Amino acid sequence: MAFWAGLYVTGAVAFVAQLTRLGVDVAFGNWVIAGAFAFCTATAVYLLDRVKLRDRWLDPADAHAHPDRFAFLSRYAAFVRMLALSLLVAAGALGTLLRPWGAIIPLLAVLGVLMYAGRPRHGRPRPKDIVLLKNAYVSVGITGFAVVVLLIGSHPTAGAGALAEVVLREAALLPLACVLLGARVFADAVVCDLDDEDADRRHGTGTLPTHLGHDRAWNIAMGIRLLSAAALAVIPVFPWHARLAWAGVTVVSSVALRLTDPNRVRDWVDARLPAEAILVAAILSAW
């Protein structure tokens, strides 16, 4: 029910927060709200992407790629939609605790998912169907969402002008953090496409696995992650303990998952980022 997907986006917020150290003095309770907001929003939009707004908009490619999951979600589609709606309401309420306009953010996330693949493919390809754009769309969306949550969570009383000043003050950190997170999400999206390679090829969805094959796509994704780890290790912009901790756990987790090569990799990828964030938090607390 999208638990790991929700945690993945929450881990993306933690990634940027730990690297930039924004909001390090903010009360823990405020970060709980921000984390719950990210989790509820991400889980809701992921579920909505699975069951769509109507039964007749369910994606036949999902039925081919994950028949058991598709059968379950099809049977309980009305319930899942209500669950997604409930999570969106909860996200809206949590968002207003962070900002008066915070409830708008989950609605924008829903709009993004509907534009991505709100209906099955008929004629003109969707963003989901175009190679590289598919992964870039997910990468930009998650990265942008994570940065917005970080900004409003780390400065709970700042107005729009004050937030703009924060962005300008952190001009050396935030853009680079966005690039590194975006590269990581892009690579993870490529790996997640491995599970759907046969279905994507049959239904005309362009992915790196369908164009380059399983091993080459995975090696490219792993290379992106290792390059991002190298960048963290050598670019002295972020606090040294945070960047080295993230560089280290990235290398270990990347190599470990590549060597194990599970048959179904998506849940492992989704669980990896929050697990990395927890491990980095433990390392940072020991310093």
Asked if residue 181 has pLDDT above 80, the reply is yes
Helix pair 67-75, 77-98: axis angle to 10 deg: 80
CA distance 149 to 102: 9
Residue 256: count of CB within 10 angstroms of its CB? 11
Average predicted confidence (pLDDT) for the chain: 91
Count of all residues that appear for the chain in the document = 287
The answer to whether the CB of 7 falls within 8 A of the CB of 272 is no
Beta bridge partners of 124: 122
pLDDT of residue 173: 85
CA distance 210 to 203: 11
* Stated pTM of the model: 0.93
List Cα–Cα distances, 74 to 53, 80, 116, 268, in angstroms. Answer: 12, 9, 20, 24
pLDDT tens-digit readout, 36-56: 999 999 999 999 999 999 988
List Cα–Cα distances, 44 to 87, 181, 210, 218, in angstroms. Answer: 6, 22, 28, 28
CA distance 147 to 174: 8
Supply φ then ψ for residue 122, to 5 degrees.
-135, 105
pLDDT of residue 118: 87
pLDDT of residue 154: 83
High-pLDDT (> 90) share of the chain, %: 70
The answer to whether the CB of 19 falls within 8 A of the CB of 242 is yes
Question: What letter would DSSP give residue 191?
Answer: H
- Estimate the share of the chain in helix, then strand, then coil, as percent rounded to the nearest 5: 80, 0, 20
Q: Which two structure tokens, joined as six digits, stand for 54?
A: 């109507």
CA distance 222 to 85: 36
pLDDT tens-digit readout, 203-236: 888 999 999 999 999 999 999 999 999 999 998 9
The answer to whether the CB of 73 falls within 8 A of the CB of 123 is no
pLDDT of residue 65: 81
Asked if residue 145 has pLDDT above 80, the reply is yes
Average pLDDT over residues 260-268: 92
Question: Residue with structure tokens 């992921």?
Answer: 46
The answer to whether the CB of 185 falls within 8 A of the CB of 134 is no
Average pLDDT over residues 172-186: 93
pLDDT of residue 260: 92
CA distance 189 to 162: 34
Provide the pLDDT confidence category of residue 158 given band limits of 50, 70 and 90. Answer: low
Q: Between these two residues, 25 and 102, which has the higher pLDDT value?
A: 102
